[in-house]
Structure 1
Amino acid sequence: MTSTAYSSSAAAAPHSGTGIGPAWERLAHAQVLRRRALGVLGALALLALPWIGSAWPEAGWVNQGLEWAGLMLMALALLGRCACMLYLGGRKGADLVAEGPYSVCRNPLYVFSILAVLGIGLQTGSMTVGLVLALAAWAVFRWIVGEEERMLRISFGTPFDAYQARVPRFLPRLAGWRSPQHVTVDLAGVWKTVRDALPYFLSIPVFEAIEAAQDAGWLHVRLWLY
């Protein structure tokens, strides 16, 4: 799913204009590359993390605090992505979505995904691992956002330029929050968002199993990180 502030129907039927076809094809190809890049990063992380350990004592308050902070970040990401779908999924027609989470940040879905990746990394008990994974995800999302914004500019023109000038790309500006009194909710879209986000929490048993294997001597830590 793209993160930018337009509805899925807008992607299918954008405002007419020269260059819209090639721009849409370019964005579709870029989204494929985005998914592949995230898949490669995930695979590399799974290969590397069994040999990385937290320099904080496993039973210490810092290690445990990082793991709990990671859990809260994943829960926040799940709730945040659902909130985005409340405003995004029920739109019909070629709409530029600029309310709710999209009124404080142009790419809230990606922001919440980055928070989820940070939370997953913190399940290792290492702040360094969490930050490295989050920065890697941010780099991929930063690239794809540029491609999405090209499409939005062609689709919506001046209204998107005004939206871009008013709302930050990633770092939320909470003072800009605005929302209609009622929104049309796409329940199927919200449920799909929940299903897509639930695998975040698989990181908890996975990293607990890695820690158990390291403690048992089945895996030998090569790098200790704070």
Structure 2
Amino acid sequence: MDQISAHYLDSSANRIEDKIIDSRWEHLARAQVRRRHALGWLAAMAMCSLLWIDSAWPEASIQNQGLEWLGLALIFLAVLGRAACMLYVGGRKGSDLVADGPYSISRNPLYVFSMLAVLGIGLQTGSLTIGLGFTAVAYLIFRWIVREEEILLSLAFGKDFDAYCKTVPRFFPRFSLWQSPQHVIVDLPGIWRTVRDALPYFLAVPVFELIEAAQRAGWVHVYVSLF
């Protein structure tokens, strides 16, 4: 009788736990939608405000051109990095605690590469200040969504996730922790979707060139110049 009661208590506890996890998944899905909307609105407002902001470095200067080329390199790195993350996470995200490859040195490498992309996009203006400002705002948004994700992961994986958090930093990589299996199962459609979704990053190049051209032509007036 005691064994039967214990069995039903365990089953009931498991059902309650599953319902809590499902509820957190739904909450996280809504939070992810809000994250995408927030980034979209911020990007739109940034584009509008940048019509009246310019780099304090002359367009042909080494500083201006160097920042733009550095930004382009960071965008390329971000696209390749996000694809590399998908080599390891594939369709496992949410079902397994992924702690290999990029996830062995940072708990959120996808967001790290996204911040690199945001920095690269900001540097297309030729201004380090704008690039760092973009990145700071993106960091605040990603930090918020990561906290939401960590609540779910803690519920789903318990002590394993807690131990993972104690070893691996939330964002900034600790390269000495790198570990990777010899073979990984590759989700090719997932990698393609990741690359496809990241390709719009490169639109920053022609967009900011058009803004600079409009400013040089006198179609819009520059009120603020930033290094």
TM-score, scaled to structure 1: 0.91
What corresponds to 1:165 in structure 2?
A: 166
Tell me which residue corresponds to 2:71. 70
Gaps of 5+ in 1: 1-15
Aligned to 2:42: 41
Q: Is the 8 A contact 1:103 1:167 kept in 2?
A: yes
Q: Tell me if 1:27 matches 2:28.
A: yes
Corresponding residue SS for 2:151: helix
Q: CA deviation at 1:21?
A: 2.4
Distance 1:194 1:43, change over 3 A: same
CA RMSD of superposed structures (Å):
1.3
Q: How many residues align?
A: 211
SS at match of 2:76: helix
Matched residue type, 2:138: A
Q: More displaced, 105-114 or 88-97?
A: 88-97
Say which one has the larger Rg.
2
Give the Cα separation in 2 of the matches to 1:167 and 1:60: 41
Secondary structure of 1:19's counterpart equals: helix
Deviation at 1:29, TM superposition (A): 1.6
> For 2:54, what is the secondary structure of its paired residue?
strand
Alignment of 1:34-183 (within 5 A): 34-91=35-92, 94-183=95-184
CA distance in 1, matches of 2:203, 2:135: 17
Task: Give the Cα–Cα distance (whole angstroms) in 1 for the partners of residues 48 and 195 of structure 2.
Answer: 27
C-alpha contact (below 8 Å) 1:91/1:184 kept by paired residues:
no
C-alpha displacement of 1:18: 5.9
Aligned-pair CA distance for 1:142: 0.2
Q: 1:32: how far off? A: 1.4
Q: Which has the higher helix share?
A: 2
The code of the aligned residue for 1:225 comes to: L
* Mapping for residues 192-207 of structure 1, pairs under 5 Å: 192-207=193-208
Tell me which residue corresponds to 1:217: 218
Tell me the alpha carbon deviations over residues 47-88 of structure 1, each in whole angstroms, 9 at most, x when there is no partner.
Answer: 101111000011000000000000010000000000000001
Distance in 1 (alpha carbons) for counterparts of 2:137 and 2:108: 17
Q: What is the CA–CA distance in structure 2 between the aligned matches of 1:27 and 1:214, rounded to whole Å? A: 42
- AA at the equivalent of 1:222: Y
Kindly indicate whether the alpha-carbon contact (under 8 Å) linking 1:17 and 1:154 is maintained by their aligned counterparts in 2.
Answer: no
Letter in structure 2 aligned against 1:76 = L
Give identity over the alignment, percent. Answer: 65
Relative distance call for 1:22 and 1:170 in structure 2 (3 A) is same
The 8 Å contact of residues 90 and 183 in structure 1, kept in 2 or not, is answered as: no
Between 1:26-35 and 1:145-154, the stretch displaced more is: 26-35
In the alignment, the residues of structure 1 paired with residue 152 and residue 94 of structure 2 have an alpha-carbon distance, to the nearest angstrom, of 16
| Alpha carbons of structure 1 residues 219 and 93: separation in structure 2 relative to 1, 3 Å | closer
For 2:24 and 2:92, locate their aligned partners in 1 and report how far apart those are by CA, in whole Å. Answer: 22
